Amino acid sequence: MGRWVGRISEVGVCILAGGASRRFGANKAFADLHGKPLLEHVIDRIRAQTTGPMIINANDLDQYARFGLKVIADDQWPEAGPLAGVYAAMSWARDVGLDQVVTVAVDQPHLPMDFVATLLRTGAPAIAASLGRPHPVNALWPANDLGALHDYLASGKRSVFGWAESCQARVAEFQASPDAIDPFLNVNTPDDLRAAEQASVAHRTAIGPP
């Protein structure tokens, strides 16, 4: 497993939206935050960072057609949780001739604007961390590690963090914003969505009008 550092225009991005959203009670990818779905917040933030190809990993393909991106399902490991999405992303990257791929969770509306660049500077494989906590689904993976991930999954393992450890992923540390918003604040419940709304308002108040 070699480390790869590449140009920002040459990296693919896969937004992981294959979860069941059980704690949220509905598909959180479509939950409204300040007038647009969580998924659209993530798409907009990624598009501002890279011109590379972007796809969505989800299992109900028709629901995502309106976002104008290719959608891939967890065909190979449908019961493997988030790691199934990582596998699907790496498989797609390999198939289209990309050397590496960024994976990012769908429910992080405050994703750092230097997310892709920081991962690339760190070098693949690399996982994001903030406030002392790792966020291994937010990561940069080399496509040529797909075979090793296949073996990891075939052994029955399902931990994304365990996979990151097994391939000796580096940690890319991201700082909280000046008003202490965790850049990887994620939305698992309706209460989390309200917290994200409040954090957005607090952030705009702290930095002033655009």
Determine contact, residues 98/53, Cβ cutoff 8 Å.
yes
* The pLDDT of residue 83 is above 90: yes
Q: How far apart (Å, rounded) are the C-alpha atoms in residues 28 and 36?
A: 12
Lowest average pLDDT, out of 99-113, 130-144, 195-209, goes to: 195-209
Determine contact, residues 38/28, Cβ cutoff 8 Å.
yes
Whole-structure pTM value:
0.87
Reported CATH class of domain 8-207: alpha beta
Which residues, in sequence order, are CB contacts of 78 under 8 Å at separation 6+?
Answer: 59, 84
State the pLDDT at residue 191: 78
Domain ranges of the chain: 8-207
**pLDDT tens digit sequence for 122-141:** 999 999 999 889 999 999 99
State the pLDDT at residue 190: 74
Phi, psi values for residue 165, rounded to 5°: -65, -40
**pLDDT tens digit sequence for 1-47:** 445 445 577 799 999 997 655 665 568 899 999 899 999 999 999 99
Measuring CA to CA, how many Å separate 65 from each of 41, 62, 76, 108? 16, 5, 22, 20
State the pLDDT at residue 21: 53
Which residues, in sequence order, are CB contacts of 31 under 8 Å at separation 6+?
Answer: 24, 37, 38, 187, 193
